[in-house]
């Protein structure tokens, strides 16, 4: 019984644990530390607080999707049908949120204001 419980919990626990860094990054980004996302330069955004909220919310949503996926994998257990459904739903949710995050970051970079101090326009991380 104990070995079966450990086997049933292994993958969901690994998935749950792998979501925890996503919440830490979401918190940092939500606080305005946009460098975590491809070196976004908050000083060049028209409304950095709104961008930080949007991106932080998307990152936290990925973490919650991973949590729900872990619960779903535990619920599915060894049953192949439910396991396939949970896996496909997790794949669609995480990749859809990742695409939304990518689009939001690109949109934020597109809305950059011109540099104030005469620096060459770049990504805020020293690269063009």
pLDDT value of residue 46: 92
Domain boundaries, the chain: 2-110
Which residue in the block uniquely carries the two structure tokens 């919310």? 57
pLDDT value of residue 8: 80
Does residue 96 carry a pLDDT above 60? yes
* Rounded CA separation 26/55 (Å): 8
pLDDT per position as a tens digit, 99-123 = 999 999 999 999 888 877 655 555 5
Does residue 6 carry a pLDDT above 90? no
| 17 in Cβ contact with 9 (< 8 Å) | no
| 65 in Cβ contact with 94 (< 8 Å) | yes
């Amino acid at each position: 019984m104990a070995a079966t419980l450990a086997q049933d919990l292994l993958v969901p626990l690994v998935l749950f644990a792998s979501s925890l860094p996503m919440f830490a990054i979401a918190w940092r980004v939500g606080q305005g530390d946009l460098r975590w996302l491809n070196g976004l330069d908050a000083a060049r955004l028209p409304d950095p607080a709104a961008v930080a909220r949007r991106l932080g919310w998307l990152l936290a949503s990925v973490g919650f999707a991973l949590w729900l996926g872990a619960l779903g994998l535990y619920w599915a257990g060894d049953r192949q049908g439910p396991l396939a459904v949970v896996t496909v739903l997790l794949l669609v949710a995480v990749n859809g949120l990742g695409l939304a995050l990518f689009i939001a970051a690109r949109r934020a970079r597109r809305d950059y204001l011109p540099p104030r101090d005469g620096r060459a326009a770049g990504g805020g991380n020293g690269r063009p």
